[in-house]
Structure 1
């Protein structure tokens, strides 16, 4: 009975300590993913401490438990099941070096999505179509990480066929005016327009322009719609 009371009390104390630790982290400048990883790590360690206190209350020698755990860990490593420790170590490095932040849009280990969390064992992504992906931390750490959200601006490209408005230069000027009117299209760096194919009546143009990273998801579609409307009115 006493052991059960100790277990419940220790569990409550652990929950309180975790809650306090979360509040302390919120007041610091620690990145959100690193803070989340630390909370999970501290929670796991506190629960281990709770179990050790419970076993101690039952009269079981704690040192013998630790010795038994050491033997189990040795067996795990001996049977080549060290992936758990490898994932934990990779998670630590991901939290410390922070190659991406929460909600960053990344491609890693062949998967692309928004970062949801970095846990003790795995990294969680949410794809644009709302699919959940869990990748072992060791695979994330050992893969090239492409972070599309890291820099403030990104370039987008469009290739479109236009009816000539008299000549090629007039057509390019019309496209340029549309790009200038859109406030989300940056003018520095200046948009570039290249001719990829030319016939007697049409021209294929490759448009390369820049936008803020937060706008990049819709900007190419928006610009394409604006160009289609503009040229529909002029032809």
Structure 2
């Protein structure tokens, strides 16, 4: 039987050292979680935006985990000083040859959290992807789509692309496009549309709603209903107006044309 303080074969560390390292890892992980949670709690009391707090919390967690791993390696008899020097040299070499993107993502993450073109919970379009911002890390930003998919985008693509923020402003304009047939009494069609908009309880009176003629298309005169509402009510109002204008025009006998194709079949002479 191997003594508790005798090195194990092929390993070079004693059972006591291995147990000590395991305890350090477990306790260190728990302590790191507590410290990060306390750090975030204290930072939330400041005026820093939630996105910055989340970013700093993840950065602190990475630093603590690195320290815990180094201490655990020291507990099993591995000299820490050469390890740190060697790790620094390897990191420097890798950075010089292949981790430019990592530094770029890290720097982009700092700019995103500092200037806040996006924030937690906001619905944005970034790099062709749309979703609510669920988090930002050292290297990437996470979006959650309405159908509960998580999209991870490198920070350099977030910072380097056009960002459309759908929920930053308190109000948005709802646009509903509809076409009416040529020959329609436009004044009557516009008045009916305006009455529909103004009767909706979630449509704001300031700015004033409007109905505009947007195009004389091939088979229709295109109208656009424009109504302002609170950002959180945008989709509800858009759905109500789209359904409402169709039902109203159908009821009032206003034709809503649609593209048609006439096919003529001719018999070939025998």
What TM bracket, shorter-length normalisation? Answer: 0.7 to 0.9
CA 1:203–1:7 in structure 2 vs 1: closer, same or farther (change >3 Å)? closer
Question: What are the equivalent positions in structure 2 for 1:1-235 lying under 5 Å apart?
Answer: 1-2=16-17, 3-4=20-21, 5-162=23-180, 167-195=185-213, 196-197=215-216, 204-235=222-253
TM-score using structure 2 length: 0.77
Higher helix share: 1
Higher strand share: 1
TM-score using structure 1 length: 0.87
Q: How many residues align?
A: 233
CA 1:163–1:181 in structure 2 vs 1: closer, same or farther (change >3 Å)? farther
Alpha-carbon distance in 1 for matches of 2:236, 2:89: 55
Whether contact under 8 Å (1:197, 1:204) holds in the other structure is yes
The more displaced of 121-130 and 161-170 is: 161-170
Alpha-carbon distance in 1 for matches of 2:35, 2:195: 60
Q: Which has the higher contact order (CA 8 A, sep 6+)?
A: 1
Say which one has the larger Rg. 2
Structure 1 runs (4+) deviating above 6 angstroms are 163-166
Alpha-carbon distance in 2 for matches of 1:234, 1:163: 13
| 5+ residue gaps, structure 2 | 1-15, 254-270
CA 1:84–1:166 in structure 2 vs 1: closer, same or farther (change >3 Å)? closer
Whether contact under 8 Å (1:197, 1:205) holds in the other structure is no
Whether contact under 8 Å (1:164, 1:171) holds in the other structure is no
| 5+ residue gaps, structure 1 | none
Q: Secondary structure of the residue that 1:183 maps to in structure 2? A: coil
Alpha-carbon distance in 1 for matches of 2:168, 2:67: 39
Deviation sequence 1:90-143 (CA, Å, 0-9, x none):
212212221111121111112222111111211111223333211111111111
Q: Secondary structure of the residue that 1:129 maps to in structure 2? A: coil
Alpha-carbon distance in 1 for matches of 2:203, 2:70: 60
CA 1:164–1:234 in structure 2 vs 1: closer, same or farther (change >3 Å)? farther
Alpha-carbon distance in 2 for matches of 1:23, 1:159: 47
